[in-house]
Structures are given as structure tokens and as C-alpha cells.
A and B are shown apart, each in its own frame.
Chain A
Amino acid sequence: MIIILYLVLTGLAAGFLGSIVGIGGGIMIVPVLSLLLKIPIQNAIGTSLIAVMATSISASRLFFKKDLANLKIGLTLVIFTTAGAITGSILVAFVRTNILFGLFGLLTMVSAYFSYRKNIRQQKDAAEIVLKDCEKFQTDTPPSLNNVLTTEEKTSIYYDTALKKPVSYQIKNYPVGFTTSFFAGIMSGLLGIGGGFINVSTMNLLMNVPLKAATATSTFMIGITAAASSIIYLTKGLVIPDITVAVVAGVLLGGTAGSFLACYLKNRYIVIILIVIFIVFGINMILKAFGVNLF
């Protein structure tokens, strides 16, 4: 009974956090199952994949309703990430992964810095510039960055519940985004890491997708990519129904609550959570490069 409670709580935490920042939650589920509960790693990965899909389904439902997820960019990126992952899984026999772990760890830390710069520092600067302009022209109406954009530039739009106004954005750097996604997919296939945080970084940092839309789109994407891998684990009998269902039950609750909160949460808080995850993940990868396994 206590084990079931552990499983449900693990799922709850993974679903909650995963749906807020657009990651699957495998980073939390696999270590808990394999290290704490001594479940064989293959079964833990199988359970984690099903849990990732549960996170995606429970959270995406609300993100679709609120028009947060950008379906077109999500589906297009899935093609490149999966193609990269297939290439990576083929290359795995020829590449020494230790150096890659180190490089990828460093890259994760750099992503954390740029996420901070783009989403917190630049927004502060932009707000200050707009305020200064306002004072200069002595306008009484509050400034809105949306008015600066022309109609042609407003390619995608969603309503931000936290800001209580619609946010429009134009997706940029398609070729760069696709190429990065492909290489990120290769890394994912080589190192066996989840694609969630790669998707968020690519969309937010390179393609100009606002963080909230990027996390929602990533949540949708991870469900699709996990579906393909889950079929393999299920048919090979590596998914233990009792354990998986307990984790999924927690994930469904956590994912629904997390997605609800994500709609009302300000970008600043999502960035802070994301940066903390990036740093922990980055340190773990760098340590792995030196043969130290934290989780």
C-alpha cells in the first residue's frame, strides 16, 4: 500500500511539474522507480513513457481549449526531432557518449542563462523602455507591445490569462529551429534523454515562441513522440500494468492541476522553475561525463 502511495505521489509531482514547464517528467519518474523502489530500469523506462503520455494528454486538453499550443509548429518540429532521434539511436554504437554528456550538460547550463536573459532580463528592459517612451510622449493610456506589431506580423495569437490580454507572436528562424531540433533529436537518441526541455529551448530561444506557448506546444509534442516508444515497450512486455497505472493515476491528477495553474501563472515563475530544472539537469549530465551518477 505504501509503495502504491509512493508511485501515485511520484506521478503527481512529475505530472504537475511536467505540465507547467513542458517536460515529460521521466527525469523524476525513472530515478524514483529504479533507485528507490528497485524496479528494473527497463520497466521503469516503460512506466515513465506511459506517464509522459498521461502528462501530455491531461495537460494538452486544456492547452488546446485555451489555444496555447501551436499545433503547426509542434507537428513540424516532431518530424525533425524524431528523425534526429532515429539517427541518434543508430549512431549510438559508434560514438563515445561521455564527452557528449559533458557537452550537453554545458549546453543545458547555457540554455538556462539565455532563458533567464530572454524571458526575465529583456522583459524588464522592454518594460523600462516602454515606460520611458510613455513619459516622453505623456500618454495616459497604458503601453501595449501588441500595438507595435503590424497585422502581417501577428501570425499566432493566444489569450494570456495571467496578463489578461491577447499575446501575438511571429515565429522566426524556421530553418535554424528545424536544424537544431534535428541535432537535439540526435543527442536525445544518443544519450537517452527526454525531448521536452530541448523543444522548449528551441522554440523559446531560437524561434521566438513565447514561453507559455512553447511549454504548451512541447507538452503536446512529447505525447506524440512517447507514443511510438511506448508501443515498443508495451509489445515487449516491459510495462508492468499495476505499477504503471498507479503512476498514471498520479500523473493525471498532477497534469490536470499543473496545466490549470500554468494558464494562470506568470511567465517569470515558469522561467524560474525551468531554469532550476535546467541547472539540476546540466550538473547531473556534467557529472555523468566524469562517471558520477546522481540520478
Chain B
Amino acid sequence: MKTKKIKKLKEKKLSTYLSLDYTIGLVLTIISIIIGYITRSDFFYKFGIIFLIATPVAGIFISIIYNSGRKNLKNVFISIAVFLILTTSALIGLFGFK
């Protein structure tokens, strides 16, 4: 029974974990928006927005961890490259290109 469970866990796809990540992100955003609406506070609205931004970024990290666990180096490099290029893009946007 235990080995079956472990096997099932091992077989779980990356999309399952990402679906979970996106569901958690969505729920947290909705909760923050509702609290913000009740308390009329910008702080919770901003929190909701931050959760929205953090969800896909967390997805990239999940992809790196998942592929590292499966020793799929090619996909690890792809995920790291995505993260690096997005960071570069954000940094160029923040500080300008002079």
C-alpha cells in the first residue's frame, strides 16, 4: 500500500504541481481581494496583486525543483534560463538601459 502511494507520488506530473500552485495563488488572491474590499484597505489589494505576480514565478521554481528531482538537466536549464531572462528583463525595465 505504502509503496503504491510512493509510486503514485513519483508518477505525478509537473502539470499537477503547477495546477496546485496556480490554485493556491488564485485562492490567496481572491481572499486578499475580499479582505481588502471589507476593510477598504489598499494594503490587502496590493497583497492580492503580489500573489498574482508570485504565482507564475513560483511555477518556474517548481519546474526547476521538479526537473532537478527527476535529473532532467535539459529542462532544469530551460527553467533557469526562463528565470534569468525574466530577471534581466525586469532589471532593464527598472533601471533603464543607458
Residues of A within 8 A of B73 (CB): none
Hey, what's the 0/1 contact readout for B31-44 against A, CB within 8 Å counting as 1?
A: 00100110000100
Q: Scan residues 46-82 of chain A and give those whose CB is less than 8 A from a CB of chain B.
A: 50, 53-54, 56-58, 60-61, 64-65, 67, 69, 71-72, 75-76, 78-79, 82
Once A71-B18, A227-B53, A241-B46 are accepted as A-B contacts, the answer to whether A58 and B33 lie under 8 Å apart by CB is: no
Residues of B within 8 A of A99 (CB): none
Hey, what's the 0/1 contact readout for B2-33 against A, CB within 8 Å counting as 1?
A: 00000000000111101100110110011001
Closest CB in chain A relative to B58 CB, distance in Å: 10
B29 touches A229 (CB 8 A): no
Closest CB in chain B relative to A58 CB, distance in Å: 6
Chain B binding site: helix, strand, loop or mixed by DSSP? Answer: helix
A79 touches B93 (CB 8 A): no
Query: How far is B26's CA from A37's CA once the two chains are assembled, in angstroms?
Result: 27
Number of interface residues of A (CB under 8 A): 44
A245 at the interface (CB under 8 A from B): yes
Query: How far is B90's CA from A114's CA once the two chains are assembled, in angstroms?
Result: 34
Chain A binding site: helix, strand, loop or mixed by DSSP? Answer: helix
Total A-B pairs, Cβ < 8 A = 128
Residues of A within 8 A of B59 (CB): 224
Residues of A within 8 A of B49 (CB): 50, 230, 234, 239, 241, 244-245, 248
Closest CB in chain A relative to B70 CB, distance in Å: 13
Q: Scan residues 76-106 of chain A and give those whose CB is less than 8 A from a CB of chain B.
A: 76, 78-79, 82-83, 85-86, 89-90
A223 at the interface (CB under 8 A from B): yes
Query: How far is B50's CA from A105's CA once the two chains are assembled, in angstroms?
Result: 35
Query: How far is B57's CA from A291's CA once the two chains are assembled, in angstroms?
Result: 38
28 contacts between A and B (CB under 8 A): A50-B53, A57-B22, A57-B26, A57-B56, A60-B18, A60-B22, A61-B19, A64-B15, A64-B22, A71-B18, A72-B78, A78-B85, A79-B81, A82-B86, A83-B85, A89-B97, A224-B82, A225-B86, A228-B87, A229-B89, A231-B53, A231-B93, A232-B90, A232-B93, A234-B50, A241-B42, A241-B45, A244-B49
Top 5 nearest A-B pairs by Cβ distance? A241-B45, A64-B19, A232-B93, A61-B22, A64-B15
